[in-house]
Chains A and B, each alone.
Chain A
């Protein structure tokens, strides 16, 4: 039904899409899978006529049924597109936070679709009256005719209907809600309602679930499948997540560097991929089938059994951490000798509302009575959905949040943290070399025994650069010149250059492509072996957690609901919520 033939799109000298040919039949879900920069989004945007003005279509054509939407060398036909967009083809974007207008009620935004495309849903006879209504409107500005009222009622009824259909239970309330009053999942449902309300022949979904939690992600996937079955429309589903594509799509096309590498029916393609790249992509996906663990386990045993003399104890970095609770100094704690971190009954609070003088602040509990320990050389995985308190917990452990009760005892020097966003965690004004040296400078300033000469620091930074697998020329570069994965490497190097005993990694791979993800996880494992590190590894992706961790904690609504050995938790989860997490990924 939809044919993309030989499409090439360039931005200036760079070709983003090269000779892409795709075909979507009626009622079919085609998945386009690829890493960031593979041209999958540009292809979709070009199909929708939404690609930016700087893009040039250098070859190929796009046709819809019999009509040609776009052809190389011909100017973009706005009028034609306006006829198609919305009523015959529609789009769901990745970011539910920004793709709804924050100043308009959700219901109104869906209504607008119906109002703009009357011809698509009103019976033929009344089309003429649309024009008549306009004329009347000019004569009597502001006056509502009976017909207008009836139409308004009709539109409202349709919107509520589609809200129910996309699983928004309290549809009347949602209708009157502003986007900020809705959760991410609900917003994405509103987006889908908007895209599906006119029963378009083609829905383009660009990473519709990427910004959502796993459990919500699955509901959205189910919803899309349901819409596809009911409305029999075609879908173009763009994702970087192979598992999702496998679950939803009938056919899958794999893209790399602007080209379609391989396409075929989903199961066939997943069972025996023909191309090297497809295989690599599938191997990089963290799964419960494989585990780096073997090495790590033996390492932990070896390290703890044979080299007890090297245990560093009682540095008590968090001694200055004075919450309302009694944070003990590490010197005088009993505790098992091999623990790098002990957390007892830790509750973390945060202030709700603005920090203004006049607002009354209410305390909310982000983490409730968490108790756990991390042993030397161990990776403790912490899994939970967004808002469950993972980040609050990790910040409290590092003394970044002082509103706590309970105790946090460190037995390792200088615990460090790695953040999720590789773009935000390096100072853009500094060079990589400077960034790698800064932890050493800071430590030298605090502790005289660690003071290093400029030359030593430089040497240490070059050494770390090599260890994190970046060429020496990167020393003088700035973060803006690095890719996401490279930045995350620098973050890791920065955290490890002072040789901490414990590193808290808050979703360190969530913002990265799968192949990069695998590399970063490998790098982290390598450092763990070399330096005898412990990690508190936080992720929402239970497969990533499985691959990295020796033990697992499951967190929900600020509580740790389950913890235990990775294998035990995965094979016989005690809590229903854990089972839900496991079953859905």
Chain B
């Protein structure tokens, strides 16, 4: 019966892996090589539909959309990955300490996260960007500020759950040091929950980054991201639908792949 379950899980995992690896591979390739320059315009090739020459067609400046999607997906994944890694790491540190020790530090930290969570996350991100100014690293900074509290909360609640577990009491009785209890004894047991939230966080980061670029306050043109391509494309929806569809579907592809991957991982662990 267990084997049965395993096989069913692997479908999620396999589908997620294939989708994610494919898009990651293409995006990685885009760092070194694209079929055309992403900023090379061509007045004679405006709005060509998808063809073998231009897989996803061309845009209003005659640029190759496939090349731009490659670069754009790379930029989006890079930014989201950075955001999730930094806020995940901060979440583990702060969540572990506040959850395990509690007390005043915990109280202060929780009120800060409450304050951050009190605003709609995208709105808060916009406000921070408007203070810092647009640009790649400012997008990262603002999204880290928005995303960290939820990671702290998740890690903290796991640590609170586990700090009174019998095996932790016993570790304390054996004279295991505090830091070792935190990061060697408790932390591994929080990882399944943590990874699940990383998967969700990553998708949210992709959507948030794209949203910012769409509004023109994220990565600035002419650099491509999925968000600013969508924004450019919206004026030509009827004339050149492939222009909006290419980055839009790519985004769906990335998010769906990651969701499946997360679900697959979650199921193998339970």
Contact = CB atoms under 8 A, between A and B. Distances in A.
Given A355-B102, A426-B167, A428-B189, A445 B107 contact: no
A398 B176 contact: no
Contacts of A424: 165-167
Given A400-B173, A442-B174, A442-B176, A427 B1 contact: no
B173 A398 contact: yes
Q: Return the 5 tightest CB-CB contacts between A and B, nearest first.
A: A12-B1, A429-B188, A425-B166, A424-B166, A442-B176
Interface in B149-170: 165-170
A443 B174 CA distance: 7
B18 interface: no
Interface string A378-402: 0000000000000000010010100
Given A400-B173, A442-B176, A11 B166 contact: no
A184 B189 CA distance: 31
Contacts of A319: none
A421 B171 contact: no
B175 A443 contact: yes
Given A11-B1, A357-B107, A427 B167 contact: yes
Contacts of A421: 166
A391 to B, nearest CB: 11
A441 B165 CA distance: 21
Given A12-B4, A14-B1, A400-B169, A439 B177 contact: no
Interface string A437-472: 011011101100000000000000000000000000
A13 interface: yes
B1 A13 contact: yes
Contact of B170 (A13, A419, A428, A446): A419
A494 interface: yes
A426 B107 CA distance: 30
B54 to A, nearest CB: 51
Interface in B63-121: 102, 107
A498 B4 CA distance: 43
B7 to A, nearest CB: 13
B53 interface: no
A499 to B, nearest CB: 13
Contact of A438 (B102, B176, B191): B176
B175 A446 contact: yes
A225 B189 CA distance: 46
A438 B174 contact: yes
Q: Which size bracket describes the interface of B in this complex? A: 20 to 34
Contacts of A495: 170
Contacts of A400: 169, 172-173
A438 B176 CA distance: 8
Given A54-B1, A398-B173, A442-B177, 18 more contacts: A11-B1, A416-B170, A416-B173, A417-B170, A417-B173, A419-B166, A425-B166, A425-B170, A426-B167, A427-B189, A428-B167, A429-B188, A429-B191, A430-B188, A438-B171, A438-B176, A442-B176, A445-B175
21 contacts: A13-B1, A54-B1, A357-B107, A398-B173, A400-B172, A400-B173, A414-B175, A416-B170, A416-B173, A417-B169, A419-B169, A424-B165, A424-B166, A424-B167, A425-B170, A427-B188, A439-B174, A442-B171, A442-B175, A442-B177, A442-B180
A398 B170 CA distance: 10
Contacts of B172: 400
Nearest to A479: B167
B267 interface: no
B185 interface: yes
Q: How large is the interface on A (under 10, 10 to 19, 20 to 34, 35 or more residues)?
A: 20 to 34
B contacts with A: majority SS: helix
Contacts of A491: 170
Nearest to B168: A427
Nearest to A420: B166
Contacts of B169: 395, 400, 417, 419
Interface string A309-329: 000000000000000000000
Nearest to B165: A424
Interface string B233-257: 0000000000000000000000000
The CB with the most chain A CB atoms within 10 A, among B167, B169, B175, is that of B167
A553 B131 CA distance: 69
A445 B177 CA distance: 9
Q: Which of B4, B174, B175, B185 has the most CB of A within 10 A?
A: B174
Interface string A337-379: 0000000000000000001010000000000000000000000
A494 B1 contact: no
Given A13-B1, A357-B107, A427 B175 contact: no
Nearest to A13: B1
A398 to B, nearest CB: 6
A498 B174 contact: yes
Given A400-B172, A445-B177, A429 B189 contact: yes
B36 to A, nearest CB: 50
Most B CB contacts (10 A, CB to CB) among A414, A417, A425, A442 go to: A442
A425 B167 contact: yes
A421 B164 CA distance: 13
- The interface centre, meaning the residue of A13, A438, A491 with most chain B CB atoms within 10 A of its CB, is A438
Nearest to B187: A429
B249 to A, nearest CB: 39
A496 B189 CA distance: 25
B46 to A, nearest CB: 58
Interface in B1-44: 1, 4
Given A438-B176, A445-B177, A427 B171 contact: yes
A488 B125 CA distance: 51
B103 to A, nearest CB: 9
A417 B175 CA distance: 12
A491 B175 CA distance: 16
A401 to B, nearest CB: 11
Nearest to A415: B173
Interface string A31-63: 000000000000000000000001000000000
